[in-house]
Every structure is written in C-alpha cells, then in structure tokens.
Structure 1
Amino acid sequence: MPRSMNTGNGAIVSRIAERRHAMPVALARIADLVISHPTTPAELTITELAERSGSSPASVTRFCRSLGFDGYTQFRVAIATELGHAAAEHAWLTDIGAEFEPTDSPEKILRTLLNVHVSGLETTREGIDLDAVGRAARAITASTHVDIYGLGGSAGIAQEFQRRMHRIGISAHAWSDVHDGLASAVLQSESSVAIGVSSTGQTNETVQMLAQAGAVGALTVAITHDDESWIADIADVSITTAAPVGYLRPDDMSVKHSQLFVIDLLYLLIAQQMFDPATRRLAATATAVSGHRRPRKLNSRSPEARSELQEEAS
C-alpha cells in the first residue's frame, strides 16, 4: 500500500527542507531543485527531473522513498494536490478575503457581513464632505443635462442614479460603454453636469469620459473611495465613499452600498431644491405604472378577507 504524509499547505516542501541537510549529495540536489521550484515535479517526468537536478532516475526514486512515498508517481500526485490546495487558498484570500473561512457557519458569515456593511456606511458618513455634496446637488438641479459614467459594478450605480433623476424630471443618461459615453460627453456644455462613478478612481474609460465632459465645460463630479485617485484629481467636485475592506475583493458589495448611500443623499438634496415639481412628477410616474401592480393580497385570516369569502360563497 502507498505510504502517505500530511499534504497540508507547504507540508511536503517543508518536510524536504527539514531533511535536506541529512541527504546524500545526489538527493540534496533534487531537494534544492524542489524547494526552489515546487511545481517542478508536477511538470517534469522522472527522467527530466533527474537531468534538471544533475542526478539519476534511481536517485529521484530514492529521494521520493526517503519522504515516505512508494515512488515518483505518488510523490508527483501529492505535490500536485498540495499545490492545488495552495492555489485554492490563495484564490480565496484574493477574491473573498481573510475575514471569511470556507468552513464558517451561515450565522458567522451573516454577522461578519452585517458588521462590514454597517462599517462601510458609517465610514462614508463620517468622511463625506457635505459642502461638496451640496455643490453637486445644486449644480444638478440647475443643469440642462446630467451624464453619468460607470463601468462594471459602477455601471449599476450610474443606472440607478439616472433612474432617480429621470423620475423627478432631470434629463440624465447613464453610460457604461466608453464609445457611447465619449460621444455624449463631447456634446455637453457649461450647463451640464457629468458624474464619474469609480470605486478605485483608476478606471481608465470612466476617467476618459469624465475628462472629455469637463473639457467642453461641464461641471465634473467624481464618486470614489480614493480622494487622491486619478478621477478625483480631474473632477471639479469629489465625493468620497468608504474604501473596500478585506473581503469580496475586488468587487466589494459594501462599497456599492456606500455608493448607493451617496446617490441617495444627492437625490434627496436635489428633490428638496425642486420640491413642487419633483413631487408632482413622482406622483405622475407612480400613477403611470400603477396599473401594472397587483393589488395587495388580503390576509385570509383577517375579518375583511373572511367577509369577502363569505359573500363570494353566498
């Protein structure tokens, strides 16, 4: 039966490093190669590994057996498995983050998520420049058109803000394609406002669209977590949201909630400044779609529902 060993993260390479000083010269050369390049056994045949390390296939076999394996095949499988585990752990840490473990319970994940999202909103509230938000709101209220640029996850934020602006009667477009966005940006003027949404502030296409709108006279607004970023530097007004925390990278949903928080604040300040027309338009748009909503279903246990059922039965 093949002998086995712990194949946890780095276990085999660590074992080799621990035993290397006691190995004969030929085996030590193999050890040095594997320690320096752990993927080598998974990539090379026994003959190739022997040539690469300046030893022989027989030495490679002795090397494998000294580590507790029956031969090179079992050693290669164990190394490949260990590398796969390490790659999976690296991917988890990179894309999900250290706050969550693959074995966490749903309750623990829920608590951690809640803390992260609440923290993001509180951080945004504490760091937001209300003067900058107020300037942007006044400019949007007085504008003839608002262009909103955002790619990837920020495109959803841009579209949501466009819908809100549209409902209270502000001409606005959201652009997530750089060609369409640039074509719109170049048509803006001093009576326009252009908004670029970029969490990192480094999205090239969003910066290009915002810069183009600014070049023709539009007031430019950046919504980003980095007030020293590229997009913040070129904008007339920069509104800062919470930075991503160490989970769900690179598309942290708590960042999206912070961005939604900011556009909600902008929306309400704008609606305040145009209260009468905004309320009329909100009422009109609600009425326009009311026929597409089903009436609320009565609770079958309520007196009203029982009365209706009795009338229908009679």
Structure 2
Amino acid sequence: MVRIRALLPTLPPSERRVAEAAVADPAGVAAKTISELAADCDTSETTVIRFCRAVGLKGYPELRIGLAAAAGIEDAASSTLTAGGDIGPHDSLADVVAKLGYADARAVEDTVAQLNLTLLERAVDAVVSAGAVDIYGIGASALIAADLHQKLHRIGHRAAAWPDAENALTSAALLGRGDVAIGISHTGATPATVTALAEAHDNGARTIAITNFPRSPITDVADLVLTTAVRETTFRSGAMASRIAALTVVDCLFVGVAQRNFSRTTRALERTRSAVQGARGR
C-alpha cells in the first residue's frame, strides 16, 4: 500500500485507476479476479499486470496477497480506534490526538519498513567521505535540512543547510567532485530544491534526494533516492507526518555516519557539549 500511494500520481491514467481501486478498497480488490478488476477499472488485464510490475510485484497473485495483508493491518488498527481516518470537524480533541498519534507512528513504521538499506549504506558512504555537504529544503523541509545540518556539524562534518533558493543555488554552483548535496522535498517537485540539486549534480557532486515519491522530478537529478512512506490526511499536507517520516530517514543517515568513526564522533560530542555547558556557566 505504501508503494502504491507513492507511485500513484506518476502512473499512466489506466494504471492509476487500478491503483486508486486498490487504495480505496484493498480487501475488495484482493477478493477479485484479474478479469473482474480490469472490468471495474475500465481497462485490460494486461494493464493490471503492468501496474503490478510498476509497484515491484511479479504479478496479480502477489498483489492480491499484499492487499489482503494490508487490509488486515488496517482492520486491526480500526478495531481499537478510528485511527487512520481523516480529522473531521466534529472530532473531539481526544480523537484528534489519537488520530495524529496513529498517523505519525504509522508513518515512521512504514518508512522504516520500506527504506532501501543498500541505498542508505551508499548515502552514508558518500557523506562520510564528503569534503562538504550541502542540504537543500524549502518551507517545512527547511526544518528537516536544519536538523541534519546541526547533527552533522556537531560531529565535525562540514555541512550547511540552505533554506533560501538563491543561496542554495549559489552554494551548489561551488560544489564539485568529492562533495555531497542532499535535497529534501516531500513531493519531490519543489522547484528551488530540484534546481539546486540539479546544479550540484551538474558540477560533479554526489546527490541524494529524500522524498515521498520515487518517480518525482527530484529523483531525475539524484544519484541516490531515499524514500519516506506517508499518507497525509486533513490539515497535514507537507507538514506533519511527512516531517516525522523525513526526520526518521535523516536520523538513520546521521547515525550511520556517526557510527563509522565512533571515537571521533564521541570526542566531537564531548567537546561541543563541554563548550555549551561552559558558556552557560559563565
């Protein structure tokens, strides 16, 4: 379900109808034959098979099994609370808190479950060996970029976060081979972030994208793509669960980098902590 939602906006219309049916009623689709689903979606069996392959499955039987499992998970969650649903105008504050808590926890769990560890390892390798690390993010993504900058900087890596479009672009123009640029965009289509990452890529820097959509524009200029898995609900677009999921990816990347040279990381953390505590005591 996570991968289907992520790919849905980029699928051809006929495959998108199949995806929308699967997202709307996973249990119902799991119970249908391929002929029934094709007819319901006004498409062909061949298109259904293409859709299965587009989301990384071998064929329709595997899709049915996956949808049945997803439906079971959602049923189990809904039996304890009406989580997963959108926040409505008549929800109590307790309902709002329960739904937000469920959605945020689910975003972290789904993100971790689908995170490509091979690509994450390569991203860690790139950052560890980088001469300089640029991090681009606009709006809510700027908060995530600032978080990664602070973490890397504190353990002694040359890193800078650029929340301004022109500053990001000018910094990207000065990167080169041996440097790394990281672009953070939930949609993967934020123009300023995509443009800055493209500039860094053209200048020879290793580029990494963190996004919820693996076929979005930012992936075209990224050497490595780390994906989140978020289903936004009411009042959440681009700011809540997506932020939590992206911070999870950032934490995984940072800890992977910090772990590579454990003694250096420990010394850097001790020195920075000592400096801050000393300043507070003056």
Deviation at 1:233? 2.0
Where do 1:150-299 residues align within 5 Å? 150-292=137-279
**Maintained 8 Å contact 1:196/1:222:** yes
Where do 1:57-72 residues align within 5 Å? none
**Maintained 8 Å contact 1:226/1:243:** no
Show the counterpart of 2:129: 142
**Maintained 8 Å contact 2:175/2:200:** yes
Q: Distance in 2 between matches of 1:117 and 1:292?
A: 36
Show the counterpart of 2:91: 104
Q: Distance in 1 between matches of 2:160 and 2:170?
A: 12
Deviation at 1:244? 3.5
Q: Does 1:122 align with 2:105?
A: no
**1:284 partner letter:** R
Please list the CA deviations of residues 247-289 of structure 1 after superposition, one character each: whole Å capped at 9, or x if unmatched: 2242340110001101101111001111111110000000001
Q: Secondary structure at the match of 1:217?
A: coil
Structure with the larger RCO, 1 or 2 (CA within 8 Å, 6+ apart) = 2
Deviation at 1:208? 0.3
Deviation at 1:110? 1.1
Please list the CA deviations of residues 121-156 of structure 1 after superposition, one character each: whole Å capped at 9, or x if unmatched: 111011110111110111100111000000000001
Please list the CA deviations of residues 141-181 of structure 1 after superposition, one character each: whole Å capped at 9, or x if unmatched: 01110000000000010011000000000000100111111
Q: Distance in 2 between matches of 1:179 and 1:137?
A: 27
- The count of residues paired between Structure 1 and Structure 2 equals 198
1:113 to 70, 86, 100: 100
Q: Distance in 2 between matches of 1:167 and 1:249?
A: 31
Q: Distance in 2 between matches of 1:291 and 1:214?
A: 41
Q: Distance in 2 between matches of 1:105 and 1:248?
A: 15
After superposition, the Cα gap between the structure-2 partners of 1:226 and 1:99, relative to the gap in structure 1 and judged at 3 Å, is same
Deviation at 1:203? 0.4
Q: Distance in 1 between matches of 2:129 and 2:149?
A: 16
Q: Distance in 1 between matches of 2:188 and 2:263?
A: 36
Q: Distance in 1 between matches of 2:239 and 2:270?
A: 35
Deviation at 1:243? 2.7
Q: Distance in 1 between matches of 2:150 and 2:191?
A: 25
Please list the CA deviations of residues 270-312 of structure 1 after superposition, one character each: whole Å capped at 9, or x if unmatched: 0111111111000000000113558xxxxxxxxxxxxxxxxxx
| Identity percentage of aligned residues | 39
Q: Secondary structure at the match of 1:195?
A: strand
**1:225 partner letter:** N
Show the counterpart of 1:305: none
Q: What's the TM-score, normalizing by structure 2?
A: 0.68
Q: Which runs of 5+ in 1 are unaligned?
A: 1-96, 295-314
Q: Distance in 2 between matches of 1:252 and 1:240?
A: 16
Q: Distance in 2 between matches of 1:244 and 1:153?
A: 16
Q: Secondary structure at the match of 1:291?
A: helix
- Greater mean alpha carbon deviation, residues 157-166 or residues 237-246: 237-246
Structure 1 consecutive aligned stretches of length 4 or more whose deviation exceeds 3 Å: 291-294
Q: What's the TM-score, normalizing by structure 1?
A: 0.61
Show the counterpart of 1:42: none
Please list the CA deviations of residues 35-60 of structure 1 after superposition, one character each: whole Å capped at 9, or x if unmatched: xxxxxxxxxxxxxxxxxxxxxxxxxx
- Greater mean alpha carbon deviation, residues 153-162 or residues 98-107: 98-107
Q: Distance in 1 between matches of 2:272 and 2:236?
A: 38
- Greater mean alpha carbon deviation, residues 145-154 or residues 285-294: 285-294
Deviation at 1:119? 0.8
**Maintained 8 Å contact 1:193/1:220:** yes
**1:186 partner letter:** A
Larger Rg: 1
Where do 1:8-19 residues align within 5 Å? none
Alignment RMSD, CA only? 1.5
**Maintained 8 Å contact 1:222/1:237:** yes
Q: Distance in 1 between matches of 2:247 and 2:279?
A: 26
